Amino acid sequence: MGIINYHADLQVLVATKGHPYARDAFSDLLDSLSGMACTIVEQPASQAFIDPRLAADYDAIVFYDMPGVDFSSQPPALVEPPEQLRINLDGLLASGIGLVFLHHALAAWPLWPEFGELMGGRFFYTPQTCRGEAVLDSGYRHDVAQTFSVLAPHHPVMEGMPAQFSLTDEPYLCEVFEDSVQPLMASDYAFDRENFFSAHHAVTGKLYCNDDWHHAQGSAFAGWTRQQGATRIVYLQPGDTAETFADCHYRRLLGNAIRWVADRT
């Protein structure tokens, strides 16, 4: 896939690739966002836009990608971010462009601690060090029916959302930095080890397995905001299935998130 433009008013760059997803359904999701022109750029080309000069034509960037993890080997190899990319990200944050991270973007750049702090959490495919402590690889579970409760009903990202809504999607048992995020919504799923499978087992040939994997209880936060300098940031944990992409509540949620981060006033 090359670059696709959806003609409208708000200019949005969407970074993809690095993890399988329902391409047509995701494109339909972007096409449904009124008042927005979404330009899809795949990895690694999209890394060039983490630069205040190249990103200047956009109001927001949506990350639905997973750079920094090379799945050509088992277990996957972890890739250090180029030094220039680190420098460019600092400049991008100073520019105030809005950032939205979706679903598996939480696994991006596992060897770049500052990137995890930017997103407000971490999904790891291998045991890692996080915030100075050893942690296990993260957990996943496909096609889980969840009810999400709105925790911040007056926040612009939740405008027009019902107090509760349901999606069947993939929750994560992972690192969530609850001390540095402002929660928007929470899942009713039980974030216990028994309900998830080990990501490390999955990438080493043992799908749907949690043997000898004793992950600590996780956070129920399923969406949050952060502000770093002049930059507004939103992370939304759901975003795995075509059914989610077609859901009217999810479409409103994503549209609200993009509009909020793009508002630099």
Alpha-carbon gap, residue 100 to 30, rounded angstroms: 13
Residue range 37-53: average pLDDT? 94
Q: How many domains does the chain have?
A: 1
Count of all residues that appear for the chain in the document? 265
- Could you give the CA distance from residue 69 to residue 168 in angstroms, rounded to a whole number? 26
Per-residue model confidence (pLDDT) at position 57: 94
129-132 LR contacts (CB < 8 Å, sep 24+): 130/175, 131/175, 131/177
Give the model confidence (pLDDT) of 88-99 as tens digits: 999 999 999 999
pLDDT given for residue 74 in this prediction: 81
* The predicted structure's pLDDT at residue 264: 87
Would you say 258 and 100 are in contact if contact means Cβ atoms under 8 Å apart? yes
Q: How confident is the model at residue 39 (pLDDT cuts 50, 70, 90)?
A: very high
The neighbouring-strand residues paired with 186 are 149, 221
CATH number (domain holding residue 174) = 3.40.50.880
- pLDDT at res. 265: 78
User: Is it true that the peptide bond before 44 is cis, omega within 30 degrees of 0?
Assistant: yes
pLDDT digits (tens, 9 = 90+) for 129-188: 999 999 999 999 999 999 999 999 999 999 999 999 999 999 999 999 999 999 999 999
Question: Higher model confidence: residue 79 or residue 265?
Answer: 79
Cα separation, 33 vs 55, whole angstroms: 20
CA distances (Å), 133 to each of 96, 128, 161, 180, in order? 31, 8, 37, 17
Q: How confident is residue 7, by pLDDT bands cut at 50, 70 and 90?
A: very low
Looking at residue 169, its pLDDT comes to 98
Q: Which residues make Cβ contacts (< 8 Å) with residue 41, sequence separation at least 6?
A: 3, 13, 14, 15, 16, 49
Whether 9 has a pLDDT exceeding 90, the answer reads no
- Print the domain residue range for 112: 4-262
| pLDDT tens, position by position, 211-247 | 999 999 999 999 999 999 899 999 999 999 999 999 9
Report pLDDT for 6: 40
**Terminal alpha carbon distance of the chain:** 35
Average pLDDT, the chain: 95
Asked if pLDDT for residue 8 goes beyond 80, the answer is: no
Instruction: Write out pLDDT tens, residues 116-138.
Output: 999 999 999 999 999 999 999 99
Q: Tell me the pLDDT band of 4, cut-offs 50, 70 and 90.
A: very low
Percent of the chain with pLDDT over 70: 97
pLDDT tens, residue by residue, 23-32: 999 999 999 9
Q: For residues 50-66, give the mean pLDDT.
A: 95
Q: So what's the pLDDT on residue 75?
A: 83
**pLDDT at 1 exceeding the cut of 80:** no
Residue 136: partners with Cβ closer than 8 Å, 6 or more residues away: 124, 127, 198, 200, 213, 214, 215, 216
Per residue, the 3-state secondary structure of 170-221, as one string, reads CCEECEECHHHCEEEEEECCCCCHHHCEEHHHHHCCCCCCCCCCCCCCCCCE
When pLDDT is averaged across residues 14-19 and rounded to a whole number, the result is 94
Give the pLDDT score at 245. 98
Distance CA 44, CA 16 (A): 9
Phi first, then psi, for residue 149 (nearest 5°) are: -105, 135
